[in-house]
Amino acid sequence: MNCKRSLFVFLIFCLYSCGNSVSTETLYSSVKIESIVEDSLLNIRAIELTKDKLVAVSSIADIYSFDLNSNSLSKDRFYPDSLNVRAVALVADTVFTLSIGSPAYLYKNSELVYHETDSAVFYDSMDFWNSKEGIALGDPIDGCLSILITRDGGNTWRKTPCASLPKTIKGEAAFAASDTNISIVGNKAWIASGGVASRVFFSDDKGYTWEVFDTPIVQGLSTSGMYSIDFYNQTEGFAIGGDYTQPKLNSNTKIKSTDGGRSWRTVNQIGGLGYRSCVQYVPGRRAKDLVAVGFEGIDYSANGGLDWIKLSNTGFYTIRFLNDSIAFAAGKGRLAKLIFD
């Protein structure tokens, strides 16, 4: 009888374990926020970093450079006037910045390398595959996304013709909320659109060809959809968003893919955090650990986005990880170093 009871308990344990195979090992329980810049007028939605340097660009085009070795901060401005800048890329010591609205200005350090004057132009984000090849994303013009590509280290940028891109749906665009509409791994790139339609545009050849995939994230309004996308490797990705006008709405605001972005499913569907503007995988955690930020705080998941815990009520728009315990984040009024524990 005791043997049968032990076997029964063992079988129940196995069934439970198999049905809940995602590890719930928690890496973080708290976060310490160390201010780098604090100013009530500051507004930063674009940051990038290397192992030695952090660059952040404010909405009025002030460029902050923070040396991670000496903890020294400097400020510069490349733009001729006060434009709204929400996209930055850092390639070695070269800083690329891109303004929203019309006209659009794209700078390589202090050199203007691209200028566009169409009244409908609105660029949202930017990223690089390598030191030579990069991409910038903008809202649709003439029925397709605005996609700029460079193949010469950012000296020249060419706009991809609509004939080479999937058609957009009326009301589909992108959000310049955190400079994370684009995720790059190897030669692949994923772009998150939002609005009336919210889909994933995918290229596996560094922007030469494109296809598009539907997602189940909340969409249908100009303010709803994906705001941020991140891929841990070439198969596992996560996207987050919602509706910033209804930040408590938490149904269908988080989605994940395990097949390289071709299909997506909702996670944590009707619970946990609502609207967030940026999500990033924690490095070295096998696509299990994620951190999301938004103006309502910092949240953490240890099981691939199934469950979330609130680490801080301090709001940020965007975040980037240096390693598995240190990140940098920016938002309204602050640029900060985050130490997770």
- Give me the CATH number covering residue 230: 2.130.10.10
Residue 123 lies in a domain: yes
Query: Which has more confidence, 195 or 271?
Result: 195
Average pLDDT score over residue span 242-247: 97
pLDDT tens-digit map of 105-123: 999 999 999 999 999 999 9
Band (79; pLDDT cuts 50, 70, 90)? confident
Task: Tell me the residue range of the domain where 153 lies.
Answer: 27-340
Binned at pLDDT 50, 70 and 90, residue 83 comes out as confident
User: Is the predicted pLDDT of residue 3 greater than 70, yes or no?
Assistant: no
- Give yes or no for residue 2 having a pLDDT over 50: no
**Does the pLDDT value for residue 1 go beyond 70?**
no
| Residue 15 domain-assigned (yes or no) | no
Residue 181 burial (CB count, 10 A): 28
- Secondary structure, 3-state, the chain: CHHHHHHHHHHHHHHHHHHCCCCCCCCCCCEEEEEEEEEEEEEEEEEEECCCEEEEEECCCCEEEEECCCCEEEEECCCCCCCCEEEEEEECCEEEEEECCCCEEEEECCEEEEEECCCCCCEEEEEECCCCCEEEEEEEECCEEEEEEECCCCCCCEECCHHHCCCCCCCEECCCCCCCCEEEECCEEEEECEECCCEEEEECCCCCCCEEEECCCCCCCCCEEEEEEEECCCCCEEEEEEECCCCCCCCCCEEEECCCCCCCEECCCCCCCCCCCEEEECCCCCCCCEEEEECCEEEEECCCCCCCEEEECCCCCEEEECCCCEEEEEEEEEEEEEEEC
pLDDT at 269 over 90: no
Within-domain flag for 18: no
Q: Is the pLDDT reported for residue 137 higher than 60?
A: yes
State yes or no: pLDDT of 280 exceeds 90.
yes
The pLDDT of residue 40 is above 50: yes
By C-alpha distance, which of 318, 319, 302, 300 is closest to 310?
300
Model pLDDT, residue 77: 87
Q: How many domains, the chain? A: 1
In a domain, 19, yes or no: no
Digit-coded pLDDT (tens) for 299-325: 999 999 999 999 999 999 999 999 999
Interval 21-43 mean pLDDT: 85
User: What pLDDT was estimated at residue 271?
Assistant: 66
- Res 100: pLDDT: 95
Whether residue 16 lies inside any domain: the answer is: no
Tell me what pLDDT residue 8 has.
35
Mean pLDDT across the chain: 92
Tell me what the mean pLDDT of segment 6-34 comes to: 56
Residue 175 has pLDDT above 80, yes or no: yes
Can you tell me the mean pLDDT for 160-169?
Answer: 98
User: Does 306 map to a domain?
Assistant: yes
pLDDT confidence of residue 12: 34
Residue 335 in any domain: the answer is yes
Give the pLDDT score at 51. Answer: 95
Q: Do the domain assignments include residue 238?
A: yes
- pLDDT at residue number 23: 45
Answer whether residue 166 shows pLDDT above 60.
Answer: yes
